[in-house]
Structure 1
Amino acid sequence: MIEFKGITKRFVRDRTPIFALRDVNLTIQQGEIFGIIGESGAGKSTLLRLINGLETPTQGTVKVSGINLSDLSKGSLRELRLNIGMIFQHFQLIQSRNVADNIAFALKAAGVKRTDFPQRIKELVSLVGLEGFETNFPSQLSGGQKQRVGIARALANNPSVLLCDEATSALDPVTTLQILELLKDLNERLGLTIILITHEIEVVKQICHRVAVMAQGEVVEVASTYDLFSQPAHDVTKHYVDTALQIELPERILRTTPGKIIRLQFTGEKTGESTLSEAIKQFDISVSILHGKVDYIQNVAFGVLIVSLTGPTLHVNKALTWLEEQLHTLEVIQDVA
């Protein structure tokens, strides 16, 4: 659906070149929810704006549905944009218009016949779960309801691509989950390709099929969401995953806990607790669980345990070798005699 090839974007400020993007190569498949995560200044928004032609690359090509955007006239680019919806962090609603009129404004911009407005507004209001709020003004809506209006407007022209620019950053955690569930439902029901940029790893974990991690204008890693969590390759990605899982041990615990402290990752049907129980029986060691978490990513179990192993050195080392064979990942954090 979308392809970035050799993309570099350079701005000039006070005669000094600033690179927002450096040699980005990325492919987004039709019908997937694709996350782009990175800190402020990583280049996420610039990359997103290249998709609808609001920015043009300094070097490289951007293709949408096989069409090279740099080959399009202004008129053809405007026509292409009708197939791309966009929602924003701060909703961008017209405060003087109610819900129905905000949607009508988008329908007019999309060239929908005015006689078709009532039926289309009814369909969009139902699609985003705002029945009964058609005459409410933005000041009378919650943050989540405002974003639902924003989504309805973005869908006015039946686009095949929906761009989400930090769409949940202004929302509380409960409302964020509700909006993400709505986006997931729209992806499944309408076959929408959704590109979601965020600095929140939890957002990525909830709904994205694949993720690109950005840092300083570069894409440093691309993976399925599950692989991103279960085997992050880049240091930036590892930081995001550790933050999401919240599995760091306090320094005091590390200093005072004897034995080998190890971090275990397990996936799918194999659980860390049952494997550790087997290790205790086989190798006559003691195990203390210091921290643990089990999560589900794309409906597959993924867990992390931090434990201390104590016992005769030979037994502990044999247990470590065996555990490495049984589990997805094993890392020795600390070895205290």
Structure 2
Amino acid sequence: MIEFAQITKQFVRDRTPIFALNDVNLTIEQGEIFGIIGESGAGKSTLLRLINGLETPTSGTVTVDGTNLSRVSKTALRKLRLRVGMIFQHFQLIQSRTVADNIAFALKAAGVKRAEFPKRIQELTALVGLEGFETNYPSQLSGGQKQRVGIARALANNPSVLLCDEATSALDPVTTLQILDLLKDLNARLGLTIILITHEIDVVKQICHRVAVMAHGEVVEVASTYAIFSQAKHPVTKHYVDTALQIELPERILRAAPGKIIRLQFTGEKTGESTLSEAIKQFDIAVSILHGKVDYIQDVAFGVLIVSLTGPTLQVNRALTWLEAQLHAIEVIQDVA
């Protein structure tokens, strides 16, 4: 659906060139929910704005649904934008207009006949769960309801792509989950390709099929969401995963714990606890669980345990070798003789 090929975007500030994007190559498939995660200034918003032509690359090509944006006329670009919906962090609603009028604004811009407005508005409010709110003004709505209006407006032209620019950052955790569930449902029901940019990896974990991690204008890692959590390679990605799983041990616990302290990961049906129990039986060692977390990513279990292994050095090393063969990943954090 979308392809970025050798994209560079350069701005000039005080006569100094600044690279917002540097040699980005990325493909987003039709019908997937694709996350782009990075800190402020990583380049993710600039990348998103290239999709609907709000920004143009300094070099490289952007292709959307088979159309090379660098080769289209202004008229063709306007038509393309009708196929690309967009929702924003702060909703961008017209405060002096009702829910129905905010949606009608998008319909009018797309050239829909006025006689068709009521039916289409009714369809869209039902789709996003806002039946009965058509005559309400934005000031009468909660944050989640305002974002639902934004989504309805973005869907007014039956787009094939939906761009979400930090769409849940202004919402509380419960409302965030509700909006993410709605986006997931729209993706399944309408076959929408959704590109979601965020700095929150919990958002990515909830709904994205794949994710690109950005830092300093570059894409440093691309993988399925499950692979990002279970097999993170780049330090930036590992930092995001550790933050999401909240598995860092306080320094005082590390100092006090005896033996070899290891972090082990397990996936799917194989649980860390049962594997550790087997290691205790086989190698006659003591195991203390210092910290643990089990989560589900794309409905597959993923867990992390931090444990200390104590006992005769030979037996501890044999147990460690055995654990490495049984589990997804092992990392020695501390080795106290």
**TM-score of the aligned structures, taking structure 1 as reference length:** 1.00
Equivalent residue runs for 1:170-319 within 5 Å: 170-319=170-319
SS at match of 1:325: helix
Match of 1:13? 13
| Corresponding position of 1:45 | 45
Q: SS state of the match for residue 187, structure 2?
A: helix
Equivalent residue number for residue 67 of structure 2:
67
Distance 2:47 2:247 in 1: 32
Q: Work out the CA distance in 2 between the residues paired with 1:111 and 1:296.
A: 44
Structure 1 position 132, deviation (Å):
1.2
Correspondence 1:9-158 to 2 at 5 A:
9-158=9-158
Deviation of 1:178 (Å): 0.4
1: distance between equivalents of 2:79 and 2:28? 21
CA separation in 1, counterparts of 2:277 and 2:120? 59
- Partners of 2:169 and 2:232 lie apart in 1 by 24
SS of aligned partner of 2:95? coil
The alpha carbon displacement at 1:93 in A equals 0.1
- Give the root-mean-square deviation of aligned CA atoms: 0.4
Secondary structure at the residue paired with 1:12?
strand
SS in 1 for 2:188: helix
Q: CA–CA distance in 2 between the matches of 1:23 and 1:331?
A: 33
Point out where structure 1 has 5 or more consecutive residues left out of the alignment.
none
1:214 to partner: Cα distance: 0.3
1:66 Cα offset (Å): 1.3
TM-score by length of 2: 1.00
Distance (whole Å) between structure 2 residues aligned to residue 63 and residue 260 of structure 1 = 52
What's the CA shift string for 1:224-252, capped at 9, x where partnerless? Answer: 00000001010000000000000000000
- 1:110 offset after TM fit, Å? 1.3
Distance 1:76 1:125 in 2: 29
Q: Cα offset for 1:13?
A: 1.2
For 1:74, the aligned partner's letter is K
- Residues in 1 aligned to 2:139 and 2:62: alpha-carbon distance in whole angstroms: 39
* Counterpart AA for 1:103: I
Q: Distance in 1 between matches of 2:6 and 2:112?
A: 37
Amino acid at match of 2:303: G
Cα deviation for residue 15 of structure 1 reads: 1.1
Secondary structure of the residue aligned to 1:223 is strand
SS at match of 2:237: helix
Code of the residue aligned with 2:304 in structure 1: it is V
Query: Which one-letter code corresponds to 2:140 in the other structure?
Result: Q
Q: Identity of aligned pairs, percent?
A: 88
Aligned residue identity for 2:309: L
How big is the shift at 1:217? 0.3
Structure 2 Cα separation of the partners of residues 85 and 225 of structure 1: 24
Residue in structure 1 matched with residue 167 of structure 2 by the alignment: 167
Q: Report the alpha carbon displacement of residue 182 of structure 1 after superposing the two structures with TM.
A: 0.3
Structure 1 SS opposite 2:223:
strand
The number of aligned residues is: 337
Query: Following TM superposition, by how much is the alpha carbon of 1:274 offset from its aligned partner in structure 2, in angstroms?
Result: 0.3
Q: Distance in 1 between matches of 2:297 and 2:110?
A: 37
Q: Relative to structure 2, which stretch is displaced further, 154-163 or 127-136?
A: 127-136
SS class of match (2:151): helix
